[in-house]
Structure 1
Amino acid sequence: MNKTEWVTAELALDTKSKLGEGPHWNRGLEQLLFVDIVKGLVHVFQPGTKEHDIHSLDGMPSSVIPIADGGWAVTMQDGVYRYNPQQRELSLVVQIEADLPGNRFNDAKCDPSGRLWAGTMDIGFQDYTGSLYLVEADGRVRTMLSQVGCSNGIAWDERKGAMYYIDTMKPEVCGFRYDAATGEISERRKLLEWPSNAGSPDGMTIDAEGQLWIAHWGGGRVSRWNPDTGELLGELAVPAPNVTSCVFGGAALDELYITTAREGLSASELDAYPLAGGLFVAKPGVTGTASRRFG
């Protein structure tokens, strides 16, 4: 994608999510999982057949990730849960930050070894009370980062031994040296200068070429960046101001699915952007990396 080229994402599903987030491509079943945090919903969408199922949970699910031995791992306000989508039952795996009722979990993903990385944030978006946690398959928890404002996008490049991470409140897109064997991260570094007129960096994914795709909350786009040089490589326009996250999907991983939110928009903005809160898709001309299961 040339830096000057703009491709516009198209509506895939008109969910009108209050806070759409956490897209995960469930390869094999060819389905997209994503959540509406505020409404407490998990959406299951099969683009090939247009089938759409909704699971309503009692709480604020911020991510949903298939577990290797069945079911889904769901981050809720106070920890990680296992969800049985057939019986629609939720059970606690590990409670985290029960002593911080002003926090909730936000973005979460699994690393190349199947460990769950899940971060928290201050619900009021005021204080740096969040943390980034690593959760093992047996429920053991490690605190990897503290004094986080709004824990958001996470991505890994196995070839480089690198992990990339976004704290939206700072706003900061940074990189670490990543040890796949232990999960340890080190050598934190700033990757790029975030544009002051482009909203805030939110969710993120990585393509097969090792380039980062970052959603712009308040910026109406997804941008592509070179993490080695900090260069802006291209942008996708999204007909919704608050773009929250993105993931590659489709049989060839050549479709970029993009979640958005209606939260934070005025009545006049909602009139101007009636598709806000929808799920969008684009074919940006590159292939992505596969979403990973927990465990």
Structure 2
Amino acid sequence: MSVVQLEFVKVLDGLAGAEGPVFDNRGNFYLVAPEVEVDGKAAGQILRVDLSKTPAQAELVCAPNVDGHGGIPAGCQADREGNLYVADMRLGILHVKPNGEFTQLTKVDDGGRTMQGCNDCIMDYEGNLWVTAPAGSIAPSPYQRFFEEPLGSVYCLTSNKRVIHLDSGFRFPNGISVIHDENLRPSKLIVAETPTRLLWSYDIKGPGVVTNKSVWGKLPDCSCESGPDGMDFDENGNLLVAHWGSSYIEVFGPTGGDPVKRIKCPFDKPSNLHFEPGTNTVYVTEHTNHALWRFQWEHRGQHQYCEK
């Protein structure tokens, strides 16, 4: 397995946490600052970043708050109308308009169970949103994260707005992605489990329907606390995975297994990554200095739902 040395350029730093990088179909770039607090209470922010300026400049879109409970936004996806879907560790799944208006989509899933706090999300080409949930019940319940206990879950928000609980039993499910078949139909769901360094897969049988959970890949062992965080596919079907705590981005081939390459980062805690549409440019968030970086990869990114 080769180690690839690439030039990383720092775009922005000084954020209160940095997660959830995403472009919409209008070229706007967003990320979240989950660690903002006001009077000791969560007050995470969703930010729009002007990348045309040096250094880039972030402006507040909104700081989600439901019934007096601030959010901890962690992951984002864009739809075809320029809206965001946000996975929030305190508030579940949010719908955010470009003007900052937001809606908490549900407090319970389709089975009537209280939603768990959510961390990351991916939208397939049919408009279904697949979401990891490593936290306890959403606010007003006390904030919990399941890192050691296997109580994390995975959901699907279908295109007709049903929130389906797919599975549980994860120790901090984190990054998530979808493989599509030759007909561009969603065929396989990939879920990162951070403490175990495992990437799990499910066969997708339809919106909110999965079967055959199995290990798809495993990140290299590390002497420090580390594990998979956010991820994104390139156009050749390679999966780039932020290996939090290791100083690497792991590159898996289309069939998983072990990484085929490692990208060395100039920081130790890459948290998430996202391709700029139609380009080789990858934007990476990191926890060490709460910063945003970019680098050029060998291939362009895979098309996103919002682009099609």
The bucket for the TM-score relative to the shorter chain is: 0.7 to 0.9
User: In 2, distance between residues paired with 1:240 and 1:213?
Assistant: 16
**Size of the alignment, in residue pairs?**
275
TM (norm. structure 1) is 0.82
1:191 is aligned to 216
Quickly say closer, same or farther: Cα 1:136–1:193, change in 2 above 3 A: closer
Q: Secondary structure at the match of 1:232?
A: coil
| 5+ long unaligned stretches in structure 2 | 37-43, 66-70, 136-143
User: In 2, distance between residues paired with 1:231 and 1:64?
Assistant: 27
2:47 is aligned to 43
User: 1:72-221 to 2 correspondence within 5 Å?
Assistant: 72-76=84-88, 77-86=90-99, 88-96=100-108, 104-122=117-135, 123-124=144-145, 125-159=147-181, 161-179=187-205, 181-197=206-222, 199-221=226-248
User: In 1, distance between residues paired with 2:60 and 2:123?
Assistant: 23
User: In 1, distance between residues paired with 2:80 and 2:86?
Assistant: 14
Quickly say closer, same or farther: Cα 1:253–1:178, change in 2 above 3 A: farther
2:263 is aligned to 236
Work out the percentage of aligned pairs sharing the same amino acid. 19
- Cα distance per residue 1:60-119 (max 9 Å; x no partner): 112233343453222332322222332x33222212479779x52101111121111112
* Conserved 8 A contact 1:30-1:46: no
Quickly say closer, same or farther: Cα 1:5–1:243, change in 2 above 3 A: closer
* Conserved 8 A contact 2:4-2:262: yes
TM (norm. structure 2) is 0.79
1:54 is aligned to 60
1:34 is aligned to 31
User: In 2, distance between residues paired with 1:66 and 1:194?
Assistant: 28
Q: Counterpart amino acid of 1:189?
A: S
Q: Counterpart amino acid of 1:55?
A: V
Q: CA deviation at 1:293?
A: 4.1
User: In 2, distance between residues paired with 1:204 and 1:93?
Assistant: 24
Q: CA deviation at 1:245?
A: 1.0
| 5+ long unaligned stretches in structure 1 | 263-275
- Which protein, 1 or 2, shows the higher relative CO under an 8 Å CA cutoff with sep ≥ 6? 1
Quickly say closer, same or farther: Cα 1:290–1:24, change in 2 above 3 A: farther
User: In 2, distance between residues paired with 1:4 and 1:69?
Assistant: 39
User: In 2, distance between residues paired with 1:147 and 1:196?
Assistant: 22
1:268 is aligned to none
Q: Counterpart amino acid of 1:284?
A: W
Q: CA deviation at 1:229?
A: 5.3
**Aligned Cα root-mean-square deviation (Å):** 2.7
